[in-house]
Amino acid sequence: MIAAALAALALLAPAPAGLAAPKEKEIAMQLVSSAENSSLDWRAQYRYIEDIHDGRGYTAGIIGFCSGTGDMLEVVRAYAKKKPHSRLARFLPALRRVDGTDSHKGLGKPFVRAWRKAAKQKAMRRAQELTEQCDLFLAIGSSLVVWPAAGFPLAAKRNGARLVIINRDETEFDEIADLVLHDDIGAALAPFIAH
Distance between CA atoms of 100 and 44, rounded to whole angstroms? 27
Catalytic residue among 41, 54, 170, 172: 54
For residue 48, the Cα-to-chain-centroid distance in whole angstroms is 18
Sign of CA dihedral 86, 87, 92, 98: negative
Enumerate residues 6+ apart whose C-beta is below 8 A from 49.
Answer: 58, 59, 60, 61, 112, 115, 116
| Residue 54 falls in the annotated catalytic set | yes
Question: How deeply is 74 buried, as exposed, middle or buried, from its count of CB atoms within 10 A (0-12, 13-18, 19+)?
Answer: buried
Smallest CA-to-CA distance from 78 within 144, 125, 42 is with 125
| Residue 50 falls in the annotated catalytic set | no
Residues designated catalytic: 36, 54
